[in-house]
Structure 1
């Protein structure tokens, strides 16, 4: 049964700076590009066709939109993230739409959803402080979002895009999303 997730993979000015921070503070940096998760990892026998149809339906009527990331914040578990500022309402709506139909059973109501990009997973207070300090050097991070990616997650936590659904009725071929 494949393990998948659904996310937005924005491309913003400052990509290199985001990835440099992630390589320093996030052990998953070599496994997956920076992203905003819409549907957290789930194991299901859903085929990519059925899953893609559900994602296209959830995206119906959604136009590309602006996205900006705010200053870094930290969660209690040592995760350092850049919260989505502009675009957060649209992303939260997509999150809700996606957790319907065939994905409804995977919604975990124990957690509240906050759109963000993770830049660090820190084991101690010193690493959190260093990551937060380094994040103050990031350039302004704003751009546009044009679609959603469905990824397959391997046993080593690496991921590979399986399907890209642009905010239109026609899916783009892999590699066309930017």
Structure 2
């Protein structure tokens, strides 16, 4: 049976409540999935959990827990809409390396043809006209979000777009 999955990092910031408040205002998925950084975008496959765990252990064998620091907001636009991003200020290279490593081997056929930019989406404004003013209002937020990342999560996306965590893979020192 095919499952729709994604692979993510769920940062555990001491001040995550600030991010949750922003997402409640601007992100329609705020009630479906916790704040996250996507490593492997949604894909449908018949891969079993054992196969995925084996691939994680191979592709992440040299990855140690690392510091993630985020601060400030920016926008990203595609042809359909704008997105609000919380910017990564430390750990971006490690995350990009994890992304690149995971998209080899059994997940290679699911890789998209666009460049990867590590980020945390905190919103999708209701219209493009409102994006800049929202970013301006968030500009007063000087919070620094920092944590140690030691877990990579595999999520199954439920029929109502809800997040169901199937695997939590620990990074070891």
Give the TM-score normalised by the residue count of structure 1: 0.89
Deviations 1:113-168 (A, max 9, x none): 11111001113145323431135325211111012000000121111110100103
SS at match of 2:72: coil
Contact 2:73–2:138 (Cα < 8 Å) also in 1: no
After TM superposition, list the pairs within 5 Å mapping 1:1-178 onto structure 2: 1-76=2-77, 77-109=81-113, 111-132=114-135, 133-134=137-138, 136-137=140-141, 139-168=143-172
Deviations 1:32-60 (A, max 9, x none): 00000000000000001101110121110
SS at match of 2:165: strand
In 2, distance between residues paired with 1:30 and 1:135?
24
> How many angstroms does 1:105 deviate by?
0.1
Segments of 4+ in structure 1 off by > 6 A?
none
Contact 2:151–2:168 (Cα < 8 Å) also in 1: yes
Contact 1:12–1:143 (Cα < 8 Å) also in 2: yes
Contact 1:38–1:94 (Cα < 8 Å) also in 2: yes
Length, aligned pairs only? 168
Contact 1:71–1:136 (Cα < 8 Å) also in 2: no
Deviations 1:47-78 (A, max 9, x none): 01101110121110211100011310001231
In 1, distance between residues paired with 2:172 and 2:65?
9
Deviations 1:67-102 (A, max 9, x none): 011310001231000122200000000000000111
**Unaligned regions of 5+ residues in structure 2, if any?**
none
SS at match of 2:148: strand
